[in-house]
Amino acid sequence: MTKWHDFLEKDGKAPVWPYPVNYDREQEIETDVLVIGGGIAGCWAAISAARKGVKVALVEKGDTIRSGAGGPGCDHWCNAPANPLSNVDPDEWAEHMTEGIYSNGIGTQIQCRENYDALLELEQMGGKIRDTDDEYEGAIGRDEKTKFMISPRYTRVHSYIPGLLKPKVLKSNPEQKLNNVVIRVWGTTFKPALKKECKRLGVNIYDRVMVTSLLTEGGVQGARVVGATGFNNRTGEFMVFRSKAAILATAGNYSLFLLNTELSGYNTFRSRNMTGDGVAMAWRAGAELTLMERSMILMLGTGYKHTWYGGAGDASYENVPLVDANGKLLPWPTQGWADAGAMRPTPEVMEKIRQGVQNGEYALPFYGDFPAMPDIERKATWKLMLGEESTTKIITGSYEKAGFNPDKHLLQNYNFIEGTSPSQWRTTGGGGPVIDWDLKSTLDGLYVAGEQTFSAGDHSYAAATGRYAGRKAADFSRQIGEGRISREQIALEKARVYAPVTRSDGIDWKELNAGIARTMQYFCSEFKTESLLNMGLDSLKDIEENHVPRLYALDPHKLMRSIEDLSLLTHGQIVLHASLARKASSEMLNFFRIDYPEVDPPEWRKYVTVKLENGRVKVGELPMKYWGDMKANYEAHNPDYEGVYKGK
Amino acid sequence: MAQKKTYALPNIISPNTPVIFNADICDGCNTCVEVCQVDVYIPNPEKGKPPIILHPDECWYGGCCVNECPRPGAIRFNWPVQQRAYWKDKATGKVLRDSQV
């Protein structure tokens, strides 16, 4: 009796919605700092703001206990050059990590300076960060004194994409010792510890509430952000948050190009909850956004949800040698000690393997040769790395229950087995609001943290930037008076949000999601041209004008999914506008314009920005390293910060 | 064959049953309902009974429901058929697959 139709068959009727439904009820909450999104960045932002003694509200679509991409777990604390075993200088490392790529220098500097402090605080809250039970004695990278487990990741090779960063000798590490900047952690312990700390500090947590819009002073686009609206996705109750400062700690968008909403957990790297709501609400409020034209190929395959690691690999890596079906070793790096952290083969080696597959030199499928590993390294990879990473604990558990034993079994690897043609399945590529050295957006009162700061979705990055944005937003909230909200803006938003529950006929959220995804697949895929992109905008406009008014939702949950679709729609429009604005191709952004084939020409090595001004799209630009000298600016903006690393 | 009342139901969505409850062990504490970030479950109208899997199609396979369950064995994962994993015995070369049902 756990399936819906069981009830129908037993009682002759569907079960009643288990929560009271109150679409007409409205709650108004006043706070100093409002945190939107209760993932890793959001929890850290709330904790850090609350430590400053201001009143904090944290709003989360799921339940803060395990929500967000890092909710289930985390196996690596990346880019922690301030840790005592590191052989590199944090400032030099931060500089190195942002060389030549569209990587957020402000966020990376904060991460490299402060994420080790955050890690130590996490330990105080109850997170496990050391091998205190001596389970991994003898593993490479384990330090007996601190009991830290250094990961092979980035030990010498610092890039996920081969060739993107040239190997170089760091001034702070002239002898080229291992960099030791990534720490293995027991991240399944983190999220409950963070929620507990939020509660201890008096953060008001609003779980199961989807934030739908930002409120601006007087309802004017581009004015100071003075709050937000939302609704409870179980009860349908409307929420108005009035705040002095807000922090956008929402995630990226992983459903925009996905046609099929069934098996959605298998098809996306992130859960359906991550639909780009933050970007959509920031856009509507008038914030300037950047890197919105970037997209990424989403690789799919067979086997348990092996979009682990963005589909690039599967359980069989990090020190696990890859072999072909006949046991022949492949020239595939293991992101391990043997190859000092390289993750993917270089394009040349990849081509060699491809040819080898075709001429019979390498037989498919490939396998991860766990039994070939030293016992302790196998245990560290299987039990610690895979056992603690986001959603993989349940996967290793399932393997074991099904009879897999890493001591004697080779695990199938999914590279090449589905061919190597580019896939139409994409994800949006981590664009977001332009931010300054306070992690403030271009709107007063709106701060940004985590993945939303046009960056990769990295756990320690989210933690460090959340923690930073929290203290900056708290400081701002102390200096400024209450903002003037617009009742008209709230009324308009309320009408927008509840429109689908006024209907019981038309199209449901799944059909709308598919319609939007198809538009993106057709008009914003591998081959882009001005006319295709414009056709995409026309198509989304058609959907907006003719199909959105037919959208219906039967309960508060489906209402959430419906409003998420509207975020997807807006997100798609932003992506198309940004794609039109970049009149050049870019390898680094995985962005190819047929009508502008030149790849990364010097004059286009810059950030293209888009925003709404009086309802019209305005295009702008920022130089590649618009943040200036990272070390100097970080120090100028944080003269009183007390961390482990004291600077040089 | 015993005649069972046949209802006119739409197609069952896929996956149908991302997890399987053991009603003998589950005491209906609804921990899984609370830790699921996409709200796959709703509480059972009958107290003490396993939750209803209302939105199986939205399952992210995050695993928190199983990992956090205070009563081991009350829930287990049931990976959809196309997601079952393959592996190979190094000694015998035999290819194996997760055939748990």
Prediction ipTM score: 0.95
- A310 pLDDT band, cuts 50/70/90, is very low
Is A11 part of a structural domain of the chain? no
HSE (side-chain half, CA atoms, 13 Å) at B10: 4
Tell me, yes or no, whether A258 and A354 share the same domain: no
Is A305 part of a structural domain of the chain? yes
Q: Over range A229-254, report the average pLDDT.
A: 96
Nearest CA-CA partner of A57 in A243, A211, A282, A281: A243
Is B12 part of a structural domain of the chain? no
Positions of E strands within A105-263: 149-150, 183-184, 204-206, 209-216, 225-232, 238-248
**CB atoms B85 and A15 under 8 Å:** no
Give Cβ neighbours of residue A511 (< 8 Å, ≥ 6 apart).
none
Residues of A in contact with B49 (CB under 8 A): 1
Q: Using alpha carbons only, what angle is made at residue A585 by residues A580 and A588, rounded to the nearest 5 degrees?
A: 115
CATH code at B80?
3.30.70.20
- A162 pLDDT band, cuts 50/70/90, is low
Neighbours of A163 (CB within 10 A): 11
Query: Is it the case that residue A312 has pLDDT exceeding 70?
Result: no
- A299 pLDDT band, cuts 50/70/90, is low
- A309 pLDDT band, cuts 50/70/90, is very low
Q: Over range A143-155, report the average pLDDT.
A: 93
Q: How many residues does chain A have?
A: 648
Average pLDDT in chain A: 92
What whole-number distance in Å separates Cα of residue A450 and Cα of residue A277?
Answer: 14
Is A110 part of a structural domain of the chain? no
* Residue where a domain terminates, one of A370, A385, A413: A413
What whole-number distance in Å separates Cα of residue A133 and Cα of residue A141?
Answer: 16
Structure tokens at A318: 């990090």
Is B13 part of a structural domain of the chain? no
Report percent pLDDT > 90 for chain B. Answer: 69
Q: How far is B71 from chain A (nearest CA, A)?
A: 16
B36 shares contact with chain A (CB less than 8 Å): yes
HSE (side-chain half, CA atoms, 13 Å) at A254: 25
Tell me, yes or no, whether A597 and A491 share the same domain: yes
What's the pTM value of the predicted model, to 2 decimals? 0.96
Is A12 part of a structural domain of the chain? no
Q: What is the residue-level pLDDT of chain B in tens, covering all 101 positions?
A: 667 788 888 888 888 899 999 999 999 999 999 999 999 999 999 999 999 999 999 998 889 999 999 999 999 999 888 888 889 999 999 999 999 88
Running DSSP on this structure, what letter comes out for residue A549? G
Tell me, yes or no, whether A503 and A614 share the same domain: yes
Q: What is the pLDDT of residues A9-67, one digit of tens each?
A: 888 888 999 999 999 999 999 999 999 999 999 999 999 999 999 999 999 999 999 99
- A315 pLDDT band, cuts 50/70/90, is low
Tell me, yes or no, whether A520 and A403 share the same domain: no
Tell me, yes or no, whether A395 and A343 share the same domain: yes
Query: How many structural domains comprise chain B?
Result: 1
Is B3 part of a structural domain of the chain? no
Tell me, yes or no, whether A235 and A327 share the same domain: no
What whole-number distance in Å separates Cα of residue A514 and Cα of residue A257?
Answer: 8
Tell me, yes or no, whether A213 and A280 share the same domain: yes
Is A87 part of a structural domain of the chain? no
- Rounded to 10°, the helix A556-581/A277-285 angle is 60
Q: Over range A417-424, report the average pLDDT.
A: 69
- A534 pLDDT band, cuts 50/70/90, is very high
Tell me, yes or no, whether A501 and A408 share the same domain: no
Q: Over range A398-409, report the average pLDDT.
A: 93
- The dihedral through the CA atoms of B5, B10, B14, B15 has a sign that is negative
Is A92 part of a structural domain of the chain? no
Residues of B in contact with A390 (CB under 8 A): 62
Is B43 part of a structural domain of the chain? yes
Running DSSP on this structure, what letter comes out for residue A59? E
> Which three-class secondary structure state does DSSP give residue A265?
helix
Tell me, yes or no, whether A562 and A605 share the same domain: yes
Query: pLDDT at position A308, please?
Result: 45
Nearest CA-CA partner of A33 in A483, A473, A436, A486: A473
Is B34 part of a structural domain of the chain? yes
| Domain region containing A554 | 487-623
Query: How many structural domains comprise chain A?
Result: 3
* Residue where a domain terminates, one of A436, A452, A479: A479
Is A210 part of a structural domain of the chain? yes
Residues of A in contact with B90 (CB under 8 A): 369, 371, 408-410
Is A181 part of a structural domain of the chain? no
Q: How far is A11 from chain B (nearest CA, A)?
A: 11
| Domain region containing B58 | 19-97
Query: Is it the case that residue A254 has pLDDT exceeding 80?
Result: yes
Tell me, yes or no, whether A231 and A263 share the same domain: yes
Q: What is the pLDDT of residues A63-122, one digit of tens each?
A: 999 999 899 999 999 999 999 999 999 999 999 888 867 989 999 999 999 999 999 999
Tell me, yes or no, whether A378 and A453 share the same domain: no
* Residue where a domain terminates, one of A458, A479, A500: A479
Alpha helices in A335-381 (DSSP H): 347-358, 375-379
* Of the partner residues A3, A4, A272, the one whose CB lies closest to the CB of residue B58: A272
Tell me, yes or no, whether A265 and A212 share the same domain: yes
CATH code at A492?
1.20.58.100
A64 shares contact with chain B (CB less than 8 Å): no
Which of A292-301, A330-339, A605-614 is modeled with the greatest confidence?
A605-614
Structure-model confidence comparison of residues A424 and A41, the more confident one: A41
Whether the bond into A365 is cis, omega within 30 of 0 = yes
B54 shares contact with chain A (CB less than 8 Å): yes
